[in-house]
């Protein structure tokens, strides 16, 4: 059965038509689910008993269940751990800043990219999430916020999974996030992060959507990139950068490059200089992320001083940088870590974030 939240309004209108119902019933149903926050079809009080029965026979709602909610000590992040109908687990993070309510969503269980520093890919890809499973992560968090008179306003596909490898579901979920009858979140407030799948970047550039696109770059050259990102073997770095430029030209969106700094691997002065040369003249921002330690990985994060030196070299070359320093105790904060832990072992040891930006 399809999750209800996997349907666009158009699809639900068609389904209503196939049941001999008027299309406006679809708008009403969307209103109940996305605006009024009902928890079952039974609560749709302006629908007939027959229609409610038909809906519950045709669609699953809800299709994911919250099994854990972890609050950081500083109150700035809340992690949600979800269980799917096949008992697999994924997570989302709600990031609370002064004027923003951002949700970081997962699009796959596990990840095919298997980056050396990331917990999500440790077990490879287990399966794609359905559109409904992607949409519901935001729906449940939106309800959580609605109880406090707030709404989700920004979305980032930076949780578990590689969005370009679950392309159709991600694009359809974005359409639902964007739809005025559902979440009405503007495309400029939606960000997709990719490990660099060239066909996907090109395809996204030709969609009607104009979402922000982020490339997980993590290295100043193909040689180092291949060492930490197995997917890098599929595409030449220059080909990926060209596809990103093309995306930016077609959509008029600025490009952001993510760069996870790992001690002794990609954090040296020579790497910063090489990165500055690689990105010279490009209209872009580099988001520096200190590696967030993951148990059993023999990697470490650079010191703050080393990050500052790295950053200063980019700044001198007129490259805009942002950075976020999460302290080492914040063990469950990196992508995918929580879903890999057994529930009873999951610990909420978050600590203060220090956020900096050169903007
Ligand atoms: N597959 C997509 C999106 C998921 S990862 C992509 O590769 O972009 C989103 C971001 O999480 C990546 O850019 C990566 O830098 C970051 N990340 C994952 N594990 C991390 C870790 N242990 N420390 C710091 N950043 C990490």
pLDDT per residue as tens digits for the range 37-64: 999 999 999 999 999 999 999 999 999 9
Same domain? 117 vs 51: no
pTM of the model: 0.92
Same domain? 253 vs 106: yes
Please give the pLDDT value at position 172: 97
pLDDT per residue as tens digits for the range 166-177: 999 999 999 999
Please give the pLDDT value at position 124: 92
Stretch 244-265: mean pLDDT, rounded?
Answer: 95
Establish whether 91 is a catalytic residue: yes
Domain count, the chain: 2
Same domain? 86 vs 26: no
**pLDDT surpasses 80 at 352:** no
Same domain? 204 vs 300: yes
**pLDDT surpasses 50 at 331:** no
Please give the pLDDT value at position 189: 96
Ligand 1 mean position, distance from CA 118 (Å): 6
Give CA 246 to chain center in angstroms: 22
The CA distance from 108 to 138, in Å, is 15
Establish whether 111 is a catalytic residue: no
- Which atom of ligand 1 is found nearest the CA of 229? 7
pLDDT per residue as tens digits for the range 183-231: 999 999 999 999 999 999 999 999 988 999 999 999 999 999 999 999 9
Stretch 126-145: mean pLDDT, rounded?
Answer: 97
Please give the pLDDT value at position 358: 38
Same domain? 55 vs 144: no
pLDDT per residue as tens digits for the range 267-315: 999 999 999 999 999 989 999 999 988 888 899 999 999 999 999 999 9
Of 133 and 355, the one with more pLDDT:
133
Decide if 254 contacts 248 (C-beta within 8 A): yes
**What is the best residue among 105, 118, 330 to mutate for testing ligand 1's pocket, by most ligand atoms within 8 Å of CB?**
118
The CA distance from 278 to 313, in Å, is 13
Same domain? 37 vs 146: no
The CA distance from 177 to 173, in Å, is 6
Please give the pLDDT value at position 340: 54
3-state secondary structure string across the chain: CEEHHHCCHHHHHHHHHHCCCCCHHHHHHHHHHHHCCCCCHHHCCCCCHHHHHHHHHHEECCCEEEEEEEECCCCCEEEEEEEECCCCEEEEEEEECCCCEEEECCCEEECCCCCCCCCCCCCCEEEECCHHHHHHHHHHHHHHHHCCCCCCCEEEECCCCCHHHHHHHHHHHHHHHHCCCCCCCCHHHEEEEECCCHHHHHHHHCCCCCCEEEEECCCCCHHHHHHHCHHHHHCCHHHHHHHHHHHHHHHCCCEEEEEEECCCCCCCHHHHHHHHHHHCCCCEEEEEEECCCCCCCCCCCCCHHHHHHHHHHHHHCCCEEEEEEECCCCCCCCCCHHHHCCHHHCCCCCCCEEEEECC
Please give the pLDDT value at position 155: 96
**pLDDT surpasses 80 at 334:** no
Ligand 1 mean position, distance from CA 189 (Å): 19
Stretch 337-359: mean pLDDT, rounded?
Answer: 37
**pLDDT surpasses 90 at 353:** no
Same domain? 36 vs 140: no
> To the nearest whole percent, how much of the chain has pLDDT over 70?
90
**pLDDT surpasses 90 at 326:** no
Q: Which of 35, 59, 83 is the last residue of a domain?
A: 59
Same domain? 161 vs 253: yes
Same domain? 46 vs 97: no
**pLDDT surpasses 70 at 327:** no
Please give the pLDDT value at position 45: 96
Ligand 1 mean position, distance from CA 215 (Å): 10
Catalytic annotation, pick one of 115, 118, 284, 335: 335
Please give the pLDDT value at position 295: 82
Beta carbons within 10 angstroms of residue 160's beta carbon: 30
Work out the pLDDT band at 337, boundaries 50, 70, 90: low
Nearest residue CA, atom 1 of ligand 1? 162
Q: What is the mean pLDDT of the chain?
A: 90
Stretch 98-107: mean pLDDT, rounded?
Answer: 93
Catalytic annotation, pick one of 21, 91, 136, 165: 91
Tell me the residue range of the domain where 185 lies: 63-357
- Which atom of ligand 1 is found nearest the CA of 161? 1
Nearest residue CA, atom 4 of ligand 1? 158
Please give the pLDDT value at position 335: 52
Same domain? 186 vs 326: yes
CATH code at position 85: 3.20.20.70
Q: Which of 59, 81, 108 is the last residue of a domain?
A: 59
The CA distance from 255 to 263, in Å, is 25
Same domain? 130 vs 180: yes
CATH code at position 54: 1.10.150.530
- Which atom of ligand 1 is found nearest the CA of 113? 1
Please give the pLDDT value at position 336: 55
Same domain? 244 vs 219: yes
**Ligand 1 neighbours by CB, cut-off 6 Å:** 111, 113, 117-118, 158, 162, 193-195, 216, 258, 260, 289, 291-292, 294, 334-335
Least confident of 68-77, 189-198, 254-263: 68-77
CA atoms lying within 13 Å on the CB side of residue 106:
35
**What is the best residue among 134, 260, 286, 327 to mutate for testing ligand 1's pocket, by most ligand atoms within 8 Å of CB?**
260
């Amino acid at each position: 059965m399809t999750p209800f939240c996997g349907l666009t309004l158009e699809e639900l209108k068609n389904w209503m038509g196939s049941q001999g119902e008027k299309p406006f019933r679809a708008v009403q149903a969307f209103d109940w689910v996305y605006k009024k926050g009902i928890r079952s079809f039974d609560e749709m009080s302006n629908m007939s008993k027959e229609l409610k029965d038909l809906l519950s026979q045709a669609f699953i709602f809800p299709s994911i269940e919250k099994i854990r909610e972890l609050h950081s000590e500083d109150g700035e992040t809340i992690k949600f751990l979800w269980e799917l109908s096949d008992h697999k687990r994924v997570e989302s993070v709600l990031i609370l800043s002064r004027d923003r309510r951002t949700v970081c969503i997962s699009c796959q269980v596990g990840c095919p990219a298997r980056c050396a520093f990331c917990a999500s890919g440790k077990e490879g890809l287990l399966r794609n999430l359905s559109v409904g499973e992607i949409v519901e992560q935001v729906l449940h968090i939106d309800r959580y916020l609605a109880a406090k008179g707030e709404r989700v306003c920004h979305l980032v596909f930076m949780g578990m999974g590689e969005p370009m490898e679950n392309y159709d579901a991600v694009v359809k979920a974005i359409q639902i996030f964007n739809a005025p009858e559902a979440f009405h979140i503007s495309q400029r407030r939606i960000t997709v992060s990719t490990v660099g799948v060239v066909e996907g970047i090109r395809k996204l550039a030709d969609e009607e959507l104009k979402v922000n696109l982020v490339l997980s770059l993590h290295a100043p050259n193909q040689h180092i990139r291949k060492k930490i990102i197995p997917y890098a073997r599929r595409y030449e770095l220059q080909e990926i950068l060209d596809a990103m430029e093309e995306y930016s030209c077609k959509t008029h969106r600025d490009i952001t490059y993510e760069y996870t700094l790992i001690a002794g691997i990609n954090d040296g002065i020579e790497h910063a200089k090489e990165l500055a040369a690689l990105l010279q003249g490009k209209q872009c921002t580099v988001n520096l992320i200190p590696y967030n330690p993951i148990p059993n990985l023999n990697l470490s994060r650079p010191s703050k001083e080393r990050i500052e030196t790295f950053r200063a070299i980019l700044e001198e070359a007129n490259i805009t940088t942002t950075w976020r320093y999460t302290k080492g105790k914040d063990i469950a904060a990196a992508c995918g870590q929580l879903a890999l832990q057994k529930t009873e072992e999951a610990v909420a040891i978050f600590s203060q974030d220090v956020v900096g930006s050169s903007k």
